Amino acid sequence: MLTGDPFNLALGMSLGNTLEALAGAYLFNHFFKFHSAIDHTQYVVGLAVVSLFATSISATIGITTLVLTGLGGLDNLGAIWLT
C-alpha cells in the first residue's frame, strides 16, 4: 500500500507471504523435527526442500492476486510466477 498499489493487491500479497512463512515453518517442524540449531545436514536439506514448496505458495497466491486485480496479464503468467 505504501507504493500506491490497490488495497486488494496489498492484501493478497500479504496473505500469500504470510501463508508462505506459516506453511514453511509448519512443514519444516513436522517433517524434520526442527530445533533451533541447524547443525545437521538433514536440517539444511530439509530447509531447502521446504523452502521450494513454501515459496511456490506465495508465488501462486501472488500471481492469482495480480490477475484478479487486473494488474497481471495472462500472457506472461509463467514469467511473473518464476519472478
- Asked if residue 1 belongs to a domain, the reply is no
Range of the domain at 42: 7-82
Alpha helices, DSSP H, located in 1-83: 7-32, 41-68, 77-82
The pLDDT tens digits of the residues spanning 39-81 come to 778 888 888 888 899 999 999 999 999 888 888 888 888 888 8
At residue 1, the pLDDT reads 63
At residue 60, the pLDDT reads 92
Half-sphere exposure in the Cβ direction for 67 (13 Å, CA): 13
- Asked if residue 2 belongs to a domain, the reply is no
**Residue 54 burial (CB count, 10 A):** 21
The pLDDT tens digits of the residues spanning 16-38 come to 999 999 999 898 888 877 666 77
- Asked if residue 16 belongs to a domain, the reply is yes
Residues 6+ apart with CB under 8 A from 1: 7, 10
pTM: 0.76
* pLDDT band (50, 70, 90) for residue 15: very high
- Asked if residue 57 belongs to a domain, the reply is yes
Domain count of the fold of the chain: 1
Distance (Å, whole) CA 58 – CA 55: 5
